[in-house]
Amino acid sequence: MLSNTEIYLIGLGFFLATLGAFLYFRKVSNSNKMLLKAKQANLKDFSYKSEAFAKQDLVILYLFSIDGNFFDMSQLNDFLINYGFQKNDDFFSIYDNDIEKFRVANALKPGTLNEDSQTQALLLATDLAAQENATDSVEDLLRFATKFCEKIYANICDSDRQPLSTESIKDLKMRASRYLLNDEESS
């Protein structure tokens, strides 16, 4: 029969062996030298230096709840679907000829909008470079933001999260009109 001292020594030895193995594997994994039999992914398509990302020109607006309370998700969901949005991977998009005009997402982490989301800030985004008619997309974005603010009681802010002024609206329309001028010149 083993005495208490021997049982404690066996337990201590087992603990030290486990601790040593843990520290060794942590060191190996932190040095990024752990050998894994995983197929290397081709990350060329996901590089931020790729051509697709270089051509983006994003317009971002924020919608903040006036009273600071969370938006009612069922009311928000109904409003967006009635406006013509389609739910797409936990955010909403509106399309024109199979091209996304703009999208609505949660401005807070993790950025998704579903039934159990709690947010008082939404994000509206459009990519001017991907639009057939960038001026119409910006007009539709501003029209939607105005209608949304009337119905759901929110404030419209620019990409710096400052209240949207007439000057910022004018700048957005000028940015969009440059795409219209570029299209006419290339024709």
pLDDT per residue as tens digits for the range 90-108:
889 998 888 889 999 988 8
pLDDT above 90 for 170:
yes
Q: At 51, is the pLDDT very low, low, confident or very high (cuts 50, 70, 90)? A: low
135 near 177, Cβ under 8 Å?
yes
For the chain, the helix, strand and coil percentages under 3-state DSSP, each to the nearest 5: 45, 20, 35
Q: At 32, is the pLDDT very low, low, confident or very high (cuts 50, 70, 90)? A: low
* Separation between Cα atoms, residue 148 and residue 101, nearest integer Å: 16
Q: At 89, is the pLDDT very low, low, confident or very high (cuts 50, 70, 90)? A: confident
pLDDT above 80 for 124:
yes
Q: Taking the complete model, does pTM exceed 0.75, yes or no?
A: no
- Give the pLDDT score at 23: 87
Q: E-assigned strands of 16-142?
A: 58-65, 86-88, 91-96, 99-106, 121-127
Amino acid (one-letter) located at 55: K
Q: At 183, is the pLDDT very low, low, confident or very high (cuts 50, 70, 90)? A: low
- Give the pLDDT score at 112: 82
Long-range contacts, stretch 128-133, CB < 8 angstroms, 24+ apart: 128/57, 128/58, 128/59, 128/175, 128/176, 128/179, 129/55, 129/56, 129/57, 129/179, 130/56, 130/99, 130/100, 131/99, 131/101, 131/179, 132/96, 132/97, 132/99, 133/180
Q: What is the pLDDT of residues 126-157, one digit of tens each?
A: 998 888 888 899 999 999 999 998 888 889 99
pLDDT above 70 for 31:
no
- Give the pLDDT score at 109: 78
Which has the higher per-residue pLDDT, 47 or 105? 105
* Separation between Cα atoms, residue 180 and residue 185, nearest integer Å: 9
pLDDT above 90 for 187:
no
Do you find a cis peptide bond into 163, omega within 30 degrees of 0?
no
- At the top level of CATH, the class of 54-186 is alpha beta
Taking alpha carbons only, the member of 147, 114, 136 closest to residue 180 is 136
61 near 159, Cβ under 8 Å?
yes
Strand, coil or helix: 171: helix
Amino acid (one-letter) located at 17: A
Segment 71-89 mean pLDDT: 88
pLDDT above 90 for 15:
yes
Distances (CA, A) of 26 to 29, 33, 37, 172: 5, 11, 18, 50
